[in-house]
Amino acid sequence: MTATLGAGRTWTDPTCPVARAVDLVGDRWSLLIVRDAMDGAATFTEFQQRLGIARNILADRLRKLVEHGILATSTAPGGKRHSYELTAAGADLFTAIVALRQWGERHAFADNESRSTLVDLEDRPIAELRPASRRGKPLSAATTRVRKVD
């Protein structure tokens, strides 16, 4: 599916994976829709109620997420409503959502401010994500570089 996401598109920065990802899911609502799909939302009404998003904006974002292969639709029993579910590409955004969540926990809340917590199925908070080399050595922007396309 990944190869088809780029077909016929005009990219902000054609050789940069970060720019392409932002072109596909970088607006506020798209990532929140993906987050809520990961949390069980599946219908237009569920997304609208959870997010409080205007119906026209939600319809546009759902259409784009389906068009880009991040969500798939099926017709609910009765044939009137669509159900949305994450594709493999959409589910693969889990690590990015967790990274954004953890950044938000560190930088977008005061120490005493209440917030939701992501926990595993045994109700334990998940470990902090940290990039590491293939040998397990911690990495940062100072210890990596981008190899540019010639």
Given a cut of 80, whether residue 7 has pLDDT beyond it is no
The ranges assigned to domains in the chain are: 13-143
Q: What CATH code is assigned to 13-143?
A: 1.10.10.10
Q: CA-CA distances (angstroms) from residue 136 to 100, 107, 132, 139?
A: 22, 26, 5, 9
pLDDT of residue 4: 42
What is the pLDDT, as a whole number, of residue 44? Answer: 96
> Residue 9 pLDDT > 90, yes or no?
no
Cα separations (Å) of 93 from 35, 56, 57, 100?
9, 24, 21, 11
Give pLDDT tens digits for 90-128: 999 999 999 999 999 999 999 999 999 999 999 999 999
As a whole number, mean pLDDT of residues 41-68 equals 97
100 φ, ψ (degrees, to nearest 5)? -65, -40
State the average pLDDT over residues 49-67: 97
Rounded CA gap, 112 and 98, in Å? 21
